[in-house]
Amino acid sequence: MSKSIARIEIERVEGMPRDHFSMQKCVFEGENALVDGDSWLRTISETVSKDSGYDKVDILLTLTSGDTYKAIFDLKHNSFEDSELDIRECITNRLYYAADPEKLPWLAADQKRLRIVKMRVSDEQRTTAARLLSILGWSR
Protein backbone atom coordinates (compact mmCIF):
# COMPACT_ATOMS: atom_id res chain seq x y z
CA MET A 1 0.00 0.00 0.00
CA SER A 2 1.12 3.50 -0.73
CA LYS A 3 -0.96 6.48 0.29
CA SER A 4 1.16 8.74 -1.91
CA ILE A 5 0.04 6.99 -5.12
CA ALA A 6 -3.32 8.06 -6.51
CA ARG A 7 -3.22 6.14 -9.77
CA ILE A 8 -1.10 3.68 -11.74
CA GLU A 9 -1.55 3.21 -15.48
CA ILE A 10 0.04 0.18 -17.10
CA GLU A 11 0.17 -0.32 -20.85
CA ARG A 12 2.02 -3.11 -22.55
CA VAL A 13 3.38 -1.66 -25.77
CA GLU A 14 5.18 -4.70 -27.16
CA GLY A 15 4.33 -8.35 -27.37
CA MET A 16 1.08 -10.12 -28.02
CA PRO A 17 -1.40 -8.91 -30.66
CA ARG A 18 -3.22 -5.69 -29.76
CA ASP A 19 -6.55 -7.47 -29.26
CA HIS A 20 -5.13 -9.77 -26.58
CA PHE A 21 -6.23 -8.98 -23.02
CA SER A 22 -2.67 -8.32 -21.90
CA MET A 23 -2.29 -5.41 -24.33
CA GLN A 24 -5.09 -3.40 -22.77
CA LYS A 25 -4.18 -0.29 -20.82
CA CYS A 26 -5.14 -0.91 -17.21
CA VAL A 27 -5.68 1.68 -14.52
CA PHE A 28 -5.41 1.01 -10.80
CA GLU A 29 -6.48 3.53 -8.19
CA GLY A 30 -6.83 3.77 -4.44
CA GLU A 31 -4.99 2.24 -1.55
CA ASN A 32 -4.34 -1.04 -3.36
CA ALA A 33 -3.11 0.48 -6.63
CA LEU A 34 0.45 -0.73 -6.10
CA VAL A 35 -0.54 -4.27 -5.12
CA ASP A 36 -3.03 -4.48 -7.98
CA GLY A 37 -0.48 -3.10 -10.45
CA ASP A 38 2.12 -5.66 -9.39
CA SER A 39 -0.47 -8.41 -9.71
CA TRP A 40 -1.32 -7.26 -13.25
CA LEU A 41 2.38 -7.28 -14.20
CA ARG A 42 2.70 -10.87 -12.93
CA THR A 43 -0.43 -11.86 -14.90
CA ILE A 44 0.74 -10.40 -18.19
CA SER A 45 4.30 -11.65 -17.68
CA GLU A 46 2.91 -15.17 -18.11
CA THR A 47 2.18 -14.30 -21.75
CA VAL A 48 5.75 -13.21 -22.54
CA SER A 49 7.64 -15.90 -24.39
CA LYS A 50 10.21 -17.70 -22.27
CA ASP A 51 12.60 -17.46 -25.22
CA SER A 52 12.03 -13.95 -26.59
CA GLY A 53 13.73 -11.62 -24.14
CA TYR A 54 11.30 -8.98 -22.93
CA ASP A 55 8.35 -6.77 -23.86
CA LYS A 56 8.15 -3.06 -23.10
CA VAL A 57 5.53 -1.89 -20.60
CA ASP A 58 4.77 1.78 -19.93
CA ILE A 59 4.01 2.68 -16.33
CA LEU A 60 2.59 6.06 -15.34
CA LEU A 61 2.32 6.90 -11.65
CA THR A 62 0.15 9.79 -10.56
CA LEU A 63 0.90 10.81 -7.01
CA THR A 64 -1.56 12.34 -4.58
CA SER A 65 0.58 15.49 -4.79
CA GLY A 66 -0.33 15.75 -8.48
CA ASP A 67 3.19 14.83 -9.62
CA THR A 68 3.56 12.15 -12.26
CA TYR A 69 6.37 9.75 -13.03
CA LYS A 70 6.64 7.71 -16.21
CA ALA A 71 8.83 4.64 -16.57
CA ILE A 72 9.36 1.94 -19.15
CA PHE A 73 9.70 -1.56 -17.75
CA ASP A 74 11.31 -4.54 -19.48
CA LEU A 75 8.80 -7.28 -18.75
CA LYS A 76 10.14 -10.82 -19.03
CA HIS A 77 8.35 -14.08 -18.40
CA ASN A 78 7.78 -14.41 -14.67
CA SER A 79 10.15 -17.39 -14.52
CA PHE A 80 13.10 -14.98 -14.88
CA GLU A 81 14.51 -13.43 -11.70
CA ASP A 82 15.13 -10.09 -13.41
CA SER A 83 11.64 -9.58 -14.81
CA GLU A 84 10.48 -6.18 -13.64
CA LEU A 85 7.40 -7.26 -11.69
CA ASP A 86 7.69 -5.00 -8.63
CA ILE A 87 6.68 -1.42 -9.41
CA ARG A 88 7.95 0.01 -6.16
CA GLU A 89 11.36 -1.68 -6.41
CA CYS A 90 11.90 -0.73 -10.05
CA ILE A 91 10.87 2.89 -9.62
CA THR A 92 12.85 3.23 -6.38
CA ASN A 93 15.95 1.97 -8.22
CA ARG A 94 15.40 4.40 -11.09
CA LEU A 95 14.89 7.35 -8.76
CA TYR A 96 17.98 6.46 -6.71
CA TYR A 97 19.93 6.11 -9.95
CA ALA A 98 19.31 9.81 -10.50
CA ALA A 99 19.09 11.15 -6.94
CA ASP A 100 21.65 9.14 -4.99
CA PRO A 101 23.32 6.41 -7.09
CA GLU A 102 25.70 5.46 -4.26
CA LYS A 103 22.75 3.72 -2.59
CA LEU A 104 22.56 1.21 -5.44
CA PRO A 105 25.03 -1.54 -4.48
CA TRP A 106 25.74 -2.58 -8.08
CA LEU A 107 26.71 1.02 -8.90
CA ALA A 108 28.55 1.81 -5.69
CA ALA A 109 30.80 -1.19 -6.34
CA ASP A 110 31.86 0.20 -9.73
CA GLN A 111 33.43 3.63 -9.25
CA LYS A 112 34.00 4.23 -12.95
CA ARG A 113 30.36 3.54 -13.75
CA LEU A 114 29.26 5.64 -10.77
CA ARG A 115 31.24 8.65 -12.07
CA ILE A 116 29.64 8.24 -15.50
CA VAL A 117 26.14 8.13 -14.00
CA LYS A 118 26.81 11.26 -11.96
CA MET A 119 28.01 13.10 -15.07
CA ARG A 120 25.00 12.05 -17.14
CA VAL A 121 22.33 13.02 -14.60
CA SER A 122 21.49 16.70 -14.61
CA ASP A 123 20.95 18.74 -11.45
CA GLU A 124 17.28 19.07 -12.42
CA GLN A 125 16.88 15.28 -12.81
CA ARG A 126 18.65 14.73 -9.48
CA THR A 127 16.44 17.26 -7.69
CA THR A 128 13.24 15.90 -9.23
CA ALA A 129 14.14 12.31 -8.34
CA ALA A 130 14.98 13.26 -4.74
CA ARG A 131 11.69 15.15 -4.42
CA LEU A 132 9.70 12.20 -5.77
CA LEU A 133 11.46 9.79 -3.40
CA SER A 134 10.58 12.11 -0.54
CA ILE A 135 6.92 12.32 -1.59
CA LEU A 136 6.72 8.55 -2.02
CA GLY A 137 8.50 7.90 1.27
CA TRP A 138 10.39 5.05 -0.35
CA SER A 139 13.95 4.20 0.57
CA ARG A 140 16.48 1.52 -0.07
Domain boundaries, the chain: 1-85, 88-140
Q: What is the phi/psi pair of residue 9, to 5°?
A: -110, 130
> What mean pLDDT is reported for the chain?
89
Kindly provide the b/e burial profile for residues 92-124, where b requires at least 16 CB atoms within 10 angstroms of the residue's own CB: bbbbbbbbebeebeebeeeeeebeebeeeeeee
Cβ(59)–Cβ(87) below 8 Å: yes
- Provide the percentage of residues in the chain whose pLDDT is more than 90: 62
**β-bridge pairing 26-29 and 55-63:** unpaired
pLDDT digits (tens, 9 = 90+) for 10-66: 998 887 655 566 677 899 999 999 999 999 999 888 888 888 788 899 999 999 999
What pLDDT score does 18 carry? 55
pLDDT band at 100 (very low <50, low <70, confident <90, very high): very high
The 10s digit of each residue's pLDDT in 72-84 is: 998 888 888 888 8
Q: pLDDT tier at 119 (50, 70, 90 boundaries)? A: very high
pLDDT at 83: 83
